Amino acid sequence: MNIAIVCGLIILITLAILLIAGVPIAVALGISSIAAILPVLNADATVVTGAQRIFSGISTFSLLAIPFFILAGNIMNKGGIAVRLINLAKLITGRTPGALAQTNVVANMLFGAISGSGTAAASAMGSIIGPIEKEEGYDPNFSAAANIATAPTGLLIPPSNVMITYSLVSGGTSVAALFMAGYIPGILWGLACMVLIYFTARKLGYRNRQHFSAREAGKILFQAIPSLLLIIIVIGGIIAGIFTATEGSVVAVVYSLVLSFIYRTIKVKDIPKILLDSAEMTGIIIFLIATSSIMSWVMAFTGIPSAVSAGLLALTGNKYVILLIINIVLLIVGTFMDMTPACLIFTPIFLPIVKTLGVSPIHFGIFMIFNLCIGTITPPVGTTLFVGVKVGRTKIESVFRFLWPYFVVIAGVLMLVTYIPQLSLFLPGLMGYVK
């Protein structure tokens, strides 16, 4: 039997057994990778090579952006920025039907874009807007569904840690290009959900009674400008080449910390806890990247991606069918696996296939991340789903009555992003990242 098939089966079976047994996914990745390479190399060579791959996998300057963006997101989550963005979102949504739910969507897009975390957006926005919606007579399940369905938009709208991870594992795809490519798909996700909310709210009779005077609107806009400037400074600086993504992440930390002190929402005594939380999250992600680098090497060494590519291309030569199959696989994977390990495992498998079909690595990265974002709001491993249900003080089975239509419209946007490359490549093309 072909060595690639044997090694692939060993990885798949060992990984499944370890995950079912409750072994942490980072450890499971390392063990299954070493088990797969043992039939090819002797034990000594396997251990030495594995250690080398762990070291080389994390000794990359661009990876420093991840802990700093995590730290910046944690500072913003506790720094009073969410309230100012919610007020701005209220101003934007105006008096449309279901305006508070519409506000939730816009606020998720704004806060998610700044913090780079879907769970942080769901937690912050749900805990603030949810009680207000309840006072206005909104069904808590309707409110929770809107919050959950749109929280992942911040993982597409930059900055996004998973884009940095994809850049690393894909062999150096431009982080700046990926950041620019995420804007239109992320905004389309949010807008599609807003259209659904509009019609649902009209049917349920949710009307907005709040009106802002010109003076109030000016005050809200003025208070939100410093928070919005963070996006302009960080993303603008990266795109303009003033600093790298890593340097931009440091700028985000300094700016958000200064802003939080100006708002007087963070005290010096709060910083150690914020640093500890950020360090814990960073450790989890970096360890995942380290162990998955062994798997990436094993796959390349044994030719697993080439075997998968040959098998898929033998099944069909139709580009659109292959992209549909990849989407289905990623959607299924996303329901059982967190975004970072899924990105680390499946990028080396699918990227060579889509390259042979003429698909840009930038385009593939975006629709892959889009797929995995959907996984964050689906059981059994949907972290954003569980956070949204918890802050909404409701139950998953109750929320799903309102949540399932969102999956339909989000899947529609996914198909557009998959089959219309320019939705991802237009902005990077304007900036000269796509030739």
Q: Are 219 and 208 in contact (CB under 8 A)?
A: no
Q: Which of 358, 422, 391 is nearest to 131 (CA)?
A: 391
| Torsion, CA 97, CA 103, CA 106, CA 109, rounded to 10 | -130
Q: Are 111 and 85 in contact (CB under 8 A)?
A: yes
| Torsion, CA 111, CA 66, CA 351, CA 46, rounded to 10 | -150
pLDDT digits (tens, 9 = 90+) for 314-345: 888 789 999 999 999 999 888 877 788 888 88
Please give the model's pTM, rounded to 2 decimal places: 0.82
pLDDT of residue 196: 94
Across the chain, mean pLDDT equals 84
Query: Residues 254-278: what's their mean pLDDT?
Result: 86
Does residue 43 surpass a pLDDT of 90? no
Q: Which contiguous run of DSSP H or E holds residue 334?
A: helix 319-336
DSSP string, 53-86: HHHHHH--GGGGHHHHHHHHHHHHHHTTHHHHHH
Query: Residues 426-430: what's their mean pLDDT?
Result: 91
pLDDT digits (tens, 9 = 90+) for 80-134: 676 777 778 777 777 778 888 888 888 888 877 776 677 777 877 787 788 888 8
